[in-house]
C-alpha cells in the first residue's frame, strides 16, 4: 500500500515534484519557480557587440563544468577595452542559460559588458553615475545583455523570476544587467 501523501498526488504532480527537487540539487544556488532541465547539457551562444565575435559552447554536461569551455567563455567575456581576462562565475552562466531556456529563445545572447577591469570601471564611473564603485563586473559575476527578438521588459521579468542575484533594468540603454550577487533589483536612469 502506498503512503498517504503519494496517494493524494496525481502521477503528473508527483513527477513535477520529483523534477523540481532534482532541479534544486542541480542548481543549488538558484531558487526555481518551476523545474529546469535537470540533466540536459548546458550550452550558450553569444555575440559580442563590441568585438563582433561570436561563440557557441557547451559549458556543462555529464554533471560537471568543462574547463576548456569555461576558459573560452572567460576570453570571450573579457574587458574589450583592455583585453584583460578574468574567470567568469559559472553560476552566472547557469543564470544566463536558465533565462534563455525560460524565454524559449535560440538567439545568441548579445553581450554588452562581461568582465570589467578596475581601470575600465573607474573610467566608466567618471562618465556615469550608474556605475558601482565595487561592480560585480570586476569579479566576473555580472553581465549586461539583451536577446534579439525578446522584449527587454520580458527579459527583465524572467531574470527577476530566477531570484538568484541582482537585476538591473536599463531600457534607455537597451540592456538588462544580471549578476550572482545578493538578490536585488533596480532601474537605471
Closest CA to 105 of 59, 173, 46: 46
Domain ranges of the chain: 1-38, 40-187
pLDDT at 77 over 60: yes
**Which pLDDT tens digit goes with each residue over 26-37?**
444 444 434 445
**Which pLDDT tens digit goes with each residue over 2-52?**
443 333 444 554 444 444 444 444 444 444 434 445 568 999 999 999 999
Ramachandran assignment for 83, one of left (phi > 0), alpha (psi -120 to 50 degrees), beta (any other)? left
**Which pLDDT tens digit goes with each residue over 81-96?**
999 999 999 999 999 9
Q: Please state which of the four CATH numbers 3.30.1380.10, 3.10.20.30, 3.40.50.2300, 1.10.3720.10 is assigned to the domain occupying 40-187.
A: 3.30.1380.10
pLDDT at 144 over 90: yes
Pairing of strands 42-48, 109-113: parallel
Check: CB of residue 100 under 8 Å from CB of residue 109.
Answer: yes
* pLDDT score recorded for residue 11: 52
Task: Record the pTM.
Answer: 0.78
**Which pLDDT tens digit goes with each residue over 48-76?**
999 999 999 999 999 999 999 999 999 99
C-alpha–C-alpha distance, residues 180 and 108, integer Å: 21
Instruction: Give the pLDDT mean for 134-144.
Output: 95
* pLDDT score recorded for residue 154: 98
Written in H, E and C, the secondary structure of 85-140 is CCCCCHHHHHHHHHHHHHHCCCCCEEEEECCCCHHHHHHHHHHCCCCCCCCHHHHC
Amino acid at each position: 500500500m502506498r503512503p498517504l501523501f503519494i496517494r493524494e498526488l496525481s502521477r503528473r504532480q508527483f513527477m513535477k515534484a520529483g523534477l523540481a527537487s532534482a532541479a534544486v540539487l542541480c542548481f543549488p544556488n538558484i531558487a526555481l519557480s518551476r523545474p529546469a532541465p535537470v540533466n540536459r547539457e548546458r550550452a550558450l551562444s553569444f555575440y559580442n557587440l563590441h568585438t563582433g565575435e561570436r561563440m557557441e559552447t557547451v559549458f556543462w554536461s555529464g554533471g560537471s563544468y568543462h574547463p576548456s569551455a569555461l576558459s573560452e567563455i572567460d576570453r570571450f567575456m573579457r574587458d574589450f577595452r583592455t583585453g584583460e581576462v578574468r574567470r567568469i562565475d559559472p553560476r552566472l552562466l547557469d543564470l544566463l542559460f536558465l533565462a534563455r531556456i525560460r524565454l524559449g529563445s535560440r538567439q545568441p545572447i548579445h553581450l554588452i559588458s562581461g568582465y570589467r577591469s578596475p581601470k575600465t570601471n573607474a573610467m566608466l564611473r567618471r562618465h556615469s553615475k550608474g556605475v558601482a564603485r565595487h561592480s560585480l563586473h570586476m569579479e566576473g559575476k555580472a553581465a549586461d545583455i539583451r536577446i534579439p527578438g525578446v522584449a527587454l521588459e520580458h527579459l527583465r521579468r524572467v531574470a527577476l523570476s530566477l531570484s538568484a542575484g541582482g537585476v538591473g533594468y536599463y531600457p534607455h540603454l537597451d540592456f538588462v544587467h544580471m549578476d550572482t550577487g545578493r538578490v536585488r533589483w533596480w532601474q537605471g536612469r
